[in-house]
Amino acid sequence: MKYLPFLLIALFFACKNEQKAPDTAIAEAPELPAGFSEFYQQFHSDSLYQVEHIVFPLEGLPNNADSATVVDKTFRWMPENWRMQKQFDFQVSEYSREIVPLTESIVMERILHKSGQFGMVRRFAIVGGEWHLIYYAGVNRLAQ
């Protein structure tokens, strides 16, 4: 009983010094090309930077695309219909991510709902010496 105050003080400092886990969403990915992680962080935190690093008109698919849109392949995202994309917190969301460097200058990202029924795809590439979003397929039902 006489050690209880010391135990409580030690426990208090242990909890206080406990550091928050770093955002491992990008850190757990396979080795990414140089500069991509820094670009990815800024892309999701700065709306002006994001718009400046998208190749408009942006190839892709809208959310909930119908079969005609998928077959047509002429859909393009435009600056006027773009909504800022923020980074997911994969530790608490119902989504997981697969990020794959295809080459030293192209990275593909798939964000999937844990049900396996919905997902989105983005591709990033170096354009003019800087990373840019070059393709975005919004949230759509995945083929089973």
pLDDT of residue 110: 96
State which H helix or E strand residue 72 sits in: helix 67-72
pLDDT of residue 91: 84
* CA-CA-CA-CA torsion sign (106, 137, 39, 80): positive
Distance CA 142, CA 118 (A): 5
Given CATH 3.10.450.410, say whether it is the number of domain 21-141.
Answer: yes
pTM for this entry: 0.77
Paired tokens of 97:
């991510």
Please name the residue that has the structure tokens 């047509």: 72
Consecutive sets of 10 residues in the chain, 144 residues long: mean pLDDT of each? 36 37 52 96 97 97 87 91 90 90 97 93 98 96 80
Closest CA relative to residue 99, chosen from 40, 48, 11, 42: 40
Paired tokens of 110:
């798939």
